[in-house]
Amino acid sequence: MRRREFITRLGGAATSGALPARAQQPGHIPRVGIVWIAPESVVGPFHDAFREGLRELGYVEGQTIAIDARFAEGKLELLPEDQINYGTF
């Protein structure tokens, strides 16, 4: 009887809190990349609204999220051909 009791308790201990927590690694900041096709002067208000929306969701740029924005200035030839999607939304 002692052996069964020991095995039962050992199994219970192994499954009840001995699992590692899956917390976010310190120093890791999620990164969002965005490519705007139009010139920055045209899409600037949309980019600002995007950043504001993230702030409303609780993200703080540079602390809890990083945003990498690129502007193609209306030159589609700068983008790789296989990454251009001409589909409709």
Q: Tell me which residue range forms the domain holding 56.
A: 29-81
Are the beta carbons of 81 and 48 closer than 8 angstroms?
Answer: no
pLDDT band at 49 (very low <50, low <70, confident <90, very high): very high
Q: Name the residue type at position 42.
A: V
| Total domains, the chain | 1
User: Each residue of 54-87: pLDDT tens digit?
Assistant: 999 999 998 999 998 888 887 777 766 665 665 5
Round to the nearest angstrom and report the end-to-end CA distance of the chain.
67
Q: Could you tell me if residue 12 is inside a domain? A: no
- Tell me the average pLDDT of the chain: 75
Q: Could you tell me if residue 75 is inside a domain? A: yes
Q: Could you tell me if residue 71 is inside a domain? A: yes
Nearest by Cα to 65 from 74, 56, 77, 75? 56
The label of the residue with tokens 């002692």 reads 2
Strand (E) or helix (H) holding 51: helix 40-56
